[in-house]
Amino acid sequence: MSVPTLFDTPVLHRLRDCERVLIAGAGGGHDLISGLPIAFALQEGSKTVFLANLTFTPVTRTTARQVAPGLFEARADTGGPLAYFPEKHLAVWLRNHGYPDSVFLIRKGGPADIRAAYAWLARELHLDAVVLVDGGTDLLMTGDEAGLGTPVEDITSLLAAHALDVPVKLAACVGFGVDTYHGVCHAHFLENVAALAKLGAYHGVFALLPGSASVDAWLEAAAWVQRHTPDRESIVSASITDAARGEFGNHHSLARTRDKEIELFINPLMSMVWGFDLDAVADRVLYRREIAHATTPFEVAAAIEAFRDHIPLRPRRIIPA
């Protein structure tokens, strides 16, 4: 692989020689949406891109095609509960704009279930790269931080991707600051980034700036999915897209935050993409052995809490203003 220069986008540079790339949402919900700028940029470069998401949609209430245990494929014409089916709404937008409309749904389960789904995707799609995307920053929490955010889905996906024998595996976080409302200490996130930098596993950041075709397409797709998910719009996705559009401070584009009088701090850092070596991120998860044999998300959550009950936690820190 060629050596990157300052004129390269660091994360995308590592995908330069890859031809078949999976962009996957780590934590479910709208996480996949945050990976769309990378997906569209790769497609502009004539790469074959596949999309997958750990889904919160009850797949048994949809007509999504089951392709493997715990793994389904949704398309624009897939039926299901339209009030909350972001993957189907994304598929409709993709079809309407000339993109392939296939979105894979990974049903929530234990680590072995999610690992099997990723293994099928890697094998059957002949992947040479995986990019796991987190809308937020809690994907980087190792286990001893003051707050972990919502780790069950993120870390289960992370460890599943870690188990793959794929040439390039990257992790990306989008939305610095949004996990404050989930208890994440962002000083600890930055501390973890620094630790990854020492390992050579931090691949820098880039901004999602309107005006490029991939970013403009993402903003349009994200807005479409939000409009078709009434009363369950993603606060994380809205914060990231609002930041990309230049909004600042206590700006509310969603009634669900405005009506609850939640104070927001929309800012340019929220629209930055932070890139990392996925295997290095996974190797730093302190409780990975404790959850390895869990069979359900509930068991994963219990194992994490039990682990944290017996270790010293880092004290919460404030980023100096």
Helix (H) or strand (E) holding 155: helix 151-162
Q: Are 154 and 138 in contact (CB under 8 A)?
A: yes
Whole-number Å distance between alpha carbons of 254 and 239: 9
pTM over 0.95: yes
> Using 50, 70 and 90 to split pLDDT, how confident is the model at 95?
very high
| Backbone angles phi and psi of 223, in degrees to 5 | -65, -40
pLDDT digits (tens, 9 = 90+) for 55-91: 999 999 999 999 999 999 999 999 998 789 999 999 9
> pLDDT at residue 225 above 90?
yes
Q: Tell me the two tokens of residue 70.
A: 């715990």
Strand order of the β-sheet with 129-135 is: 65-68, 71-74, 103-107, 48-55, 20-25, 129-135, 168-174, 272-277, 202-207
Class of domain 16-233+271-308: alpha beta
Instruction: Please give the C-alpha separations between residue 73 and each of 62, 68, 106, 235, in angstroms, as whole numbers.
Output: 10, 10, 9, 26
Helix (H) or strand (E) holding 73: strand 71-74
Tell me the average pLDDT across 248-262: 90
Q: Concatenated DSSP letters for 267-288?
A: -GGGGEEEEEEHHHHHHT-TTH
